[in-house]
Structure 1
Amino acid sequence: MNDRTRPFRFGVVAPIRSDLPTWRDRVRRIADSGYSTLLMPDVPTWQPTLGPTLATAAALTDLRIGSWVYAAALRDPLSTAWEAHSLSVLSEGRFEMGIGAGRPGIEVELGLPAVSPAERRTRMRDTVANLRKFDGPELHTPVVMAVSGPKSQALALEVADAATFVLPPDDDRVETTQRVRDFAAGRDLELAQHIAVIGDSVAPFMAPPDLDTAALHAADSLVVLPSDPAAAAEEIQRRREEIGFSYFVIGADFADTFAPVVAQLAG
């Protein structure tokens, strides 16, 4: 299937930012609203660790679950692959492994040695290779790779099932469109879009809270969607047709208000 004709699907990044009963209710509402995937960020010290939290979410609903995304700067390839495989087994094939290089400097902030971009890419490659060994011939855990420059894009084309582009807030829409089109011509991968802003609101864990939303709107940034459901649905359809994006990931704070868009487009 050509990327531009893939069915839409929608994921929600839903970290635990409340008491557990409230979070569990939120996860169930997300499932009832037609979203495909419940995702967790990989940010140490901010919330419970990703693996047990996703396993808990998988037991609550029939949603797919996923990491958005494992940060290679913080992760050992073997243990990360083991965790990802375990989540696939425990969720009966509903886990997808999102992996990326990790935010610049995140490891230093946590008191760890600095990890070069080249080493981060090596860890990403090794994690996927180990995951394939753990999975064996009977299981294939989907890999969503966060990419930016040519080297990470080449790696995704080689080993991933889907890709999401790490876009700067002031990304140029025309330039980004051409970059993603050129990338997608290399192989039939699912293309995911990380949405940090809806209207003028920034979702926690999706972007820095001091993000200049006015500048994003002025730049026609792809990390933004309109707050009006009809306009958002139209824009999402445009992005699939013109660029090839079919998997859209939003923050949990937007899940309820965005549900009409999901109801209209999902599947």
Structure 2
Amino acid sequence: MPQKAFRFGVVAGATEGGAQWLATARRAEELGYSTLLCPDNLNMPSPTAALAAAAAATTELRVGSFVLASPLRTARAAAWEAHSLTVVTGGRFELGLGTGRPEMRQQAEELGLPYGSGQDRLDSVSETVDHVRRLDGDAHTPVMIAAGGPKARRLAGLKADIIALAGSPLTTREETAEYVGEIQDAAGARDVELAMNILVVGEEMPPWMRGFFGVDAETLVEHDSLAMLRGNADDMAAELQRRRDELGVSYISVNGAFLEDFAPVVALLSGK
């Protein structure tokens, strides 16, 4: 798989209101981030509305879902939203898809939708990709699949443009290399981009993040977690170059809490 240039995204939600959300989008573009990525959760504004607004407020910034949870809409509805965003953003939308976190069971019930089995949710992801390809026609919506298990990794290798290496923050480098191998086997000659989300930049984790992910910064350090980047900008850049060399990962996203902290790394590596 040929080595790709680095690009960077920031994961944020429009939870603090429209003005702050648009300021975040403009700042991400100003700092050289490639994409602004929005989570999918009934407790925050819809990613469709938020991303359309962010694209309208910027010039070149790409926008993406991180990720649309398959239990929260039918495959056809998800594809409709995705293709619509591709149209209204002038091709600056990237569709992130996944089977959703466990709390999506209750949220699906609120929407009157079945949560389904793991295979049902994965089938919905696959069907969404097929619907998007049909709706796009001559356009092409880049599709990211969050691949946390073997079936998801195989599907992502077969159908996705971008594969986000999902799973436990304590997954080892050796395990991650094995997962990349599974994806490469499924992808064959297809040209895919490998992505990784960084939970912590530095050595301090916000309290809400500890509760959400169920792990603290000390544990991440102890396990040499790939979900953390430490040191100065040069140290972080060197670590990301190592990951690209060893794992093929070139697309890195960080939580919006670290938008400014991570910017020097973006400046060092973006496009290289």
Asked if 1:192 corresponds to 2:195, the answer is: yes
* Aligned-partner SS, 1:248: strand
Asked if 1:104 corresponds to 2:92, the answer is: no
Mapped to 2, the partners of 1:95 and 1:170 lie a distance apart of: 30
* Aligned-partner SS, 2:9: strand
Q: TM-score, normalised by structure 1?
A: 0.92
Residue 36 of structure 1 aligns with which residue? 34
Residue 59 of structure 1 aligns with which residue? 56
Q: Which residue identity does 1:121 align to in structure 2?
A: L
* Aligned-partner SS, 2:116: coil
Residue 48 of structure 1 aligns with which residue? 45
Asked if 1:123 corresponds to 2:121, the answer is: no
Aligned residues of 1:196 and 1:207 also touching (Cα < 8 A): no
* Aligned-partner SS, 1:111: helix
Asked if 1:211 corresponds to 2:248, the answer is: no
Moved more, 229-238 or 103-112: 103-112
Higher RCO, Cα 8 Å, sep 6+: 1
* Aligned-partner SS, 1:140: coil
Per the alignment, do residues 227 and 53 of structure 1 end up closer, same or farther by CA in structure 2, a change over 3 Å counting?
A: farther
C-alpha displacement of 1:15:
0.8
Q: TM-score, normalised by structure 2?
A: 0.91
C-alpha displacement of 1:181:
3.2
Per the alignment, do residues 227 and 83 of structure 1 end up closer, same or farther by CA in structure 2, a change over 3 Å counting?
A: farther
Q: Which residue identity does 1:163 align to in structure 2?
A: I
Mapped to 1, the partners of 2:210 and 2:193 lie a distance apart of: 20
Candidates 225, 228, 232, aligned match of 2:232 = 228
Asked if 1:134 corresponds to 2:144, the answer is: no
Mapped to 2, the partners of 1:207 and 1:240 lie a distance apart of: 30
Per the alignment, do residues 130 and 205 of structure 1 end up closer, same or farther by CA in structure 2, a change over 3 Å counting?
A: farther
1:84-99 map, 5 Å: 84-99=82-97
* Aligned-partner SS, 2:55: helix
Q: Which residue identity does 2:13 align to in structure 1?
A: P
* Aligned-partner SS, 2:28: helix
Deviations 1:168-211 (A, max 9, x none): 12212222223213422442310000111122334667981652
**Gaps (5+ residues) in structure 2?**
none
Deviations 1:63-122 (A, max 9, x none): 001000000122211111000000000011110100011112422355354321010011
* Aligned-partner SS, 2:259: helix
Mapped to 2, the partners of 1:118 and 1:38 lie a distance apart of: 29
* Aligned-partner SS, 1:214: helix
Superposed CA RMSD: 1.9
Name the % identity.
41
Mapped to 1, the partners of 2:251 and 2:238 lie a distance apart of: 15
Moved more, 235-244 or 170-179: 170-179
Q: Which residue identity does 1:161 align to in structure 2?
A: D
The count of corresponding residues between Structure 1 and Structure 2 is 263
Residue 12 of structure 1 aligns with which residue? 10
Q: Which residue identity does 1:48 align to in structure 2?
A: P
**Gaps (5+ residues) in structure 1?**
none
Moved more, 145-154 or 85-94: 145-154
Moved more, 174-183 or 85-94: 174-183
Mapped to 1, the partners of 2:169 and 2:237 lie a distance apart of: 21
Q: Which residue identity does 1:60 align to in structure 2?
A: A
